[in-house]
Amino acid sequence: MTEIPDRKTYASRQTLGDMNAWKKMMALAAMIEIDQATGAMTNRNGKSSLVLRLDGRVTVRGVRIPQTAERHISLEAAMVDLNSGVATWEIDNRGQFAELG
């Protein structure tokens, strides 16, 4: 239970493993950026991106972002800001729409 595995044995299994898996991991690593100043992590793939920030903000960007659910999609927030490209709307905690401009 207190045995420490031999690092050489562990490392050799990893480096001699499936090279295709390593290529996939390297391709994934190339899509991820970390901003050391802010701690934000960005995952980019083509025209889409997902940004995770230390303060809990998550930004999803893409050409088209469909949502599909077997049951329901719910939004819980103090405010939901919907930008239609023409006007910006918000939904307050009572479910009322208000145009912001």
Which of 14-28, 31-45, 66-80 is predicted least confidently? 14-28
**Whole-angstrom distance, CA of residue 92 vs CA of residue 101:** 16
The pTM (predicted TM-score) of the whole model is 0.56
Could you tell me the maximum CA-CA distance found in the chain, to the nearest angstrom? Answer: 65
Q: Is 68 helix (H, G, I), strand (E, B) or coil?
A: coil
**Whole-angstrom distance, CA of residue 85 vs CA of residue 83:** 6
pLDDT of 20 > 90? The answer is no
Instruction: Output 55 or 94, whichever has higher pLDDT.
Output: 55
CB 43 within 8 A of CB 35: no
